[in-house]
A and B are shown apart, each in its own frame.
Chain A
Amino acid sequence: GDSVTQMEGPVTLSEEAFLTINCTYTATGYPSLFWYVQYPGEGLQLLLKATKADDKGSNKGFEATYRKETTSFHLEKGSVQVSDSAVYFCALTFNNAGNMLTFGGGTRLMVKP
């Protein structure tokens, strides 16, 4: 079946450091890929998405590129802030299967001032 694998956290960085959170997937076909962010005690918010190979999703300084050849969708940000501290989830879905998102296990990011 389809699956998403994320690097385990927590990831602890100092403010203004460079962030990479790895995400790889296993799926038959070409899914749409997402990053969701969950702030403490809250639900998930869509951060960015990419629907086909080589697409780059971006939002709030975060970026991720859909790499078909490596089946990856790594999340990056050039300079993190304390307010970026949250749990980040990578997810995939196929449109023709309905919106049944398959999530990775989540990666907690802690940014220290």
Chain B
Amino acid sequence: DGGITQSPKYLFRKEGQNVTLSCEQNLNHDAMYWYRQDPGQGLRLIYYSQIVNDFQKGDIAEGYSVSREKKESFPLTVTSAQKNPTAFYLCASSIDVMNTEAFFGQGTRLTVV
């Protein structure tokens, strides 16, 4: 089945450690996105990528980094510079940047202790 897979579903890390969240899609989509969701709030865009080897900062990119070496993969690294990293992280993809329908993964809940 085609879709977006995020792993792991739950992730715990100690404060000061970098952590990488995985996002893989087999939909042959060009565009991929990372959103952050905090309790009771909407989604905020962290980074997006329109095509392989290209990515752009979203509204809240500070403390995060990404790479897009393969079309299928868009990993997100939460660095120690992110002041409040505990959140629910959602990855999404769309056919291309002109296509309005985004498909979302199941999310990764990151807890930093």
Could you list which residues of chain A lie within 8 angstroms of chain B, going by C-beta atoms?
4, 32, 34, 36, 41-46, 49, 51, 89, 93, 95-96, 98-101, 103-106
Q: Which residues of B contact A46 (CB under 8 A)?
A: 101-103
B2 at the interface (CB under 8 A from A): no
Q: How far does the Cβ of A12 sit from chain B's closest Cβ, in whole Å?
A: 16
Could you list which residues of chain B lie within 8 angstroms of chain A, going by C-beta atoms?
4, 6, 31, 33, 40-45, 48, 50, 58, 90, 92, 94, 97-107
Q: State whether B42 touches A105 (Cβ < 8 A).
A: yes
Q: Which residues of B contact A100 (CB under 8 A)?
A: 45, 48, 58
* 10 tightest Cβ-Cβ pairs between the two chains A and B: A98-B97, A103-B42, A43-B104, A44-B104, A103-B43, A105-B42, A99-B94, A43-B106, A43-B107, A32-B100
Q: State whether A49 touches B101 (Cβ < 8 A).
A: yes
Looking at the complex, which one of B41, B90, B103 makes contact with A106 (CB distance below 8 Å)?
Answer: B41
Q: In the complex, A106 Cα to B40 Cα: how many Å? A: 7
Q: State whether A98 touches B42 (Cβ < 8 A).
A: no
Q: How far does the Cβ of B2 sit from chain A's closest Cβ, in whole Å?
A: 15
15 further A-B pairs in the complex, CB-CB below 8 A; given A46-B102, A101-B45: A41-B107, A42-B106, A43-B6, A43-B90, A44-B104, A45-B104, A49-B101, A89-B43, A98-B48, A98-B97, A100-B45, A100-B48, A103-B43, A106-B40, A106-B42
